[in-house]
Amino acid sequence: MLKKFIIIFLMCVTLTYIIAFAGDIPESLMLGNQQALFIGKLTDKNSEIYTITPLTVMMGSIEQKEIKVNKFEKYYGTNDIPENGDILVAVLLEEGKIDDLWVFKATSDDYKTLNLKSEKHNMVKRYEKYINEGKYFEAQEKINEKANSVQDSKTQIIDSTQKKILSLSTALIVIGLAVSVSYKLVLRKEK
C-alpha cells in the first residue's frame, strides 16, 4: 500500500513539473536565448525554402533584409498552410533556422494590435498579450542594460588593472634608479 502511494505521489510530482514547463515558451523567450523574435512577411514560397522579410524585430537582431528558412507545413494552432504575403511571428534560432513549431500567422504587422491566428490556449493568449504590450521590447532593453553594465564593469576592471600596472612600473623604475645610484655611490667610495 505504501509503495503504491509513493509511486502515485512521484508520478503526480513528475507530471506537475512537466506540465509547468511545457507552457512557458512565451516567458522563456524573454531570456533572449534565440537570435531574434520578429514579425515578418512571407515573400517567397519555394518548394523547400521560404523567404521571410523581417518587419519588426522585437528581440535580438537580424542583419539581413531577407531570411531564407526551411519550409514549414503550417502555422501553430491552425491548419493554415503558409502563403505568400502572410504576416507571421517567428523565432529565429540561428542564421537561416526558425522554430518551425512556433510560427504564428498574424492579422497585422503592428505589434500593438496584431492577433495571433491560433487556437486560444492560455499560452497563446499570454504570448499575444506580451507582444501587444511590448513586453519583448522591454525584455530586450533589460538584456541590453545588463550587457552594458557587464561591459562597464569589465572596463572598470581593465582601467584599475592598468593603473596598478602603471604604479608597479613606476615603482620598479624608481627602485632601479635607486639601485643604480647606490651602486655608483659604492663604487666611488671604493676608489
Pick 120 or 150 by higher pLDDT. Answer: 120
What are the structural domain ranges in the chain? 2-133, 135-191
For the segment 49-63, the average pLDDT, to the nearest whole number, is 96
Closest CA to 101 of 84, 85, 123: 123
Overall CATH class of domain 2-133: mainly beta
Neighbours of 74 (CB within 10 A): 13
To the nearest whole percent, how much of the chain has pLDDT over 70? 74
- Range with lowest mean pLDDT among 71-80, 93-102, 176-185: 176-185
The structure's pTM equals: 0.67
The pLDDT value given to residue 20 = 44
How far is CA 7 from each of CA 33, 53, 94, rounded to the nearest angstrom?
A: 36, 51, 41
The CA R_g of the chain, rounded to the nearest whole Å, is: 30
